[in-house]
Amino acid sequence: MDARIDALVDQLVARGDLADDSWRAVLHAVPRHLFAPPVAWAAPLGGPRHKIDVREDPAGWWQAVYDPGAAILTRFGDDEPRAPVSSLSAPNIVLPFLELLHPIGGQRTLDVGTGTGWTAALLSERVGAHNVVSVEIDEQAARQAAANLEALGVRPTLITGDAVTCLPEQEMFDLVHVTCGVTELPYAWVRQTRPGGALVFPWMPDFSYGYRVRLDVLPDGVATGRLAGAAGFMMLRSQQGHRTTPMGEWVAAVKDAAASTTRLDPRLLWHTPGGGLEAAMSALVPGVRADLVYDPEPTGEATLWLLEATGPGGSWASVDYVPGEDEFAVEQAGDRRLWDEAEAAYFQWIRWGRPDLERFGLTVTPDGQQVWLDDPGNPIAH
């Protein structure tokens, strides 16, 4: 077992997902396999989901559990049986967040999204279990997490409920660790973080995959910090929105689309690397989901879809890319002209000098959330 854990850490270090080797001892103290169910679905990085069963294929189970890029899906939705609602997150996602949080002994820590209990146990090893409060909204997942933690002999405070509303108002934290994606960071978590404290969370605006973010809390209750890298998680239940709603439902709900053309290759909004464009689009074209769909035939043709995150009945746009054409067909419907907004945002990002991801940041106040470029004093207006 020591060899498995050391191999996992060595791979994380080699991939650039872990720099602080002190987490090696934490991972030895909190073995990941103790939080993996005997039967589950593995979702490896870049590979298809597949069932794992420790009784039928023990070698495959162990390989998946200690694969640095594999999430272990443990719970699925009742309405959407293929949609996971809880998991044992992949080590190459978990460790960069914990390293960004940089917990030290004795810090009072809120863990939002207990899941299987693994992150609550890792934090307990780092700061002391009596300093960890972990909240899980899913009752079945919460019961299993409690059993997993009890079996390990680790006893943080566990709460079943909505972490946005169920925390005692007088409770104050040094650190907040969030394991579910948020489009808008609930200010309740900032309000209950003491000045000098920090929050790390996956910011998942509708336009893009998601980013690691660390915000530090100032004496006036403002939290601010930079984007730190790509990351994706299951969404906070209250912010799931319409991310999985089929595109056809938008198109069917809004008639009389306006037709036009563009000379901008729509694929650039999807395939430009580095994350900086996605961050800019998330700020300048807020509340919009993007999808690029290639023709199933190998023609090179593709359609970029832009869908207002309010759901069917909201605005939508489509842009058809055809190889060799000088102009591309655009359709837009609804109150917003989403392609016009997106095209303007793309060229604004170009005028800024194509800033990369790390030049963008977030500030959260009681009045809302603002994206900024280079400095919190330079907010991006939309």
Residues facing 260 on adjacent strands:
330
Give counts: helices (H), strands (E), the chain: 11, 18
- Supply 240's token pair: 């799931």
C-alpha of 13 from chain center: 22
Q: What is the pLDDT along the chain (382 residues), one digit of tens a residue?
A: 899 999 999 999 999 999 999 999 999 999 999 999 999 999 998 888 999 999 999 999 999 999 999 999 987 765 544 667 788 999 999 999 999 999 999 999 999 999 999 999 999 999 999 999 999 999 999 999 999 999 999 999 999 999 999 988 889 999 999 998 898 899 999 999 999 999 999 998 878 778 999 999 999 999 999 999 888 777 666 666 656 666 677 666 666 789 999 999 999 998 887 889 999 999 999 989 888 888 877 888 999 999 988 777 789 999 999 999 999 999 999 999 999 999 999 999 999 999 999 999 999 999 999 999 999 999 997 5
Residues facing 258 on adjacent strands:
332
Q: Is the separation of the CB atoms in 276 and 355 below 8 Å? A: yes
For residues 238 and 162, give the distance between their C-alpha atoms in angstroms, rounded to a whole number.
Answer: 9
Q: Is the separation of the CB atoms in 90 and 156 below 8 Å? A: no
Catalytic residue flag (residue 89): yes
Which is the catalytic residue, given 22, 86, 87, 89? 89
Q: How confident is the model at residue 29, as a pLDDT?
A: 97
For residues 31 and 118, give the distance between their C-alpha atoms in angstroms, rounded to a whole number.
Answer: 9
Q: How confident is the model at residue 227, as a pLDDT?
A: 94
| Phi, psi dihedrals of residue 284, rounded to the nearest 5° | -85, -25
Q: How confident is the model at residue 299, as a pLDDT?
A: 87
Q: Is the separation of the CB atoms in 357 and 276 below 8 Å? A: yes
User: Three-state SS for 123?
Assistant: helix
Residues facing 81 on adjacent strands:
none
Q: Which of 130, 141, 135, 143 is nearest to 110 (CA)?
A: 135
**Entry pTM:** 0.91
Q: How confident is the model at residue 244, as a pLDDT?
A: 63
- Supply 9's token pair: 């850490």
Q: How confident is the model at residue 79, as a pLDDT?
A: 54
Q: Is the separation of the CB atoms in 353 and 280 below 8 Å? A: no
For residues 95 and 18, give the distance between their C-alpha atoms in angstroms, rounded to a whole number.
Answer: 7
Q: What does DSSP assign to residue 238?
A: G
Strand pairing category for 328-333 and 316-321: antiparallel
Which residue has tokens 């690397």? 273
